[in-house]
Structure 1
Amino acid sequence: MAPDRKRRGDDPPPPERRGEQLDHAILRSKPEFNALEVAAETGVTVEETRRLWRALGFPEFTGEKAYTAADVEAVATLMSFVDAGAVDFDTAVNLTRGVGQTMARLADWEVSTLVSRVEEMEAGEEATGSRIGSALRLIDEVNPPFERLLVYAWRRHLAAAVGRIEAMGAKDEDLHTIDVTVGFADLVSFTALSNTLDRDEIGDLVEVFESRCQDVVARYAGRIIKSLGDSVLFVTNTAEEAVGVAEGIINVIGRDSKMPDVRLGLASGAVILRLGDIFGPPVNMAARLTQVARRNRLIVDQNTADLLPADEWENRRLPARPVRGFGLVEPVAVRRR
Structure 2
Amino acid sequence: MDLNDTSEESLYGDYEVYDDFDAAADLRDSMRVLSMVVYSIAFLLGVTGNSLVIFVTGFRMKRTVTTVWFINLAIADFVFTFFLPLSVAYMALGFHWPFGKALCKLSSAVAFLNMFASVFLLMVISMDRCISVMCPVWAQNYRSPRLASLVALGVWIASLALSSPYIVFRDTRPSPVEENTTHCYNNFALSDDLHSEEMTKLGEQRHQAMVLIRFVAGFLVPFTIILICYGIIMTKLKGNRITRSSRPFKIMVAVILAFFICWFPYHVFSFMEMSVSMVTPWLQTVLVVGIPLASGLAYINSCLNPFLYVFVGQDFREKLQTSVLAAFENAFSETSAQVLTKSKSSMEVDSHLV
Structure of higher RCO (CA pairs closer than 8 Å, 6+ residues apart): 2
TM-score normalised to structure 1 length: 0.29
TM-score normalised to structure 2 length: 0.28
The structure with the largest strand share of the pair is 1
Larger radius of gyration: 1
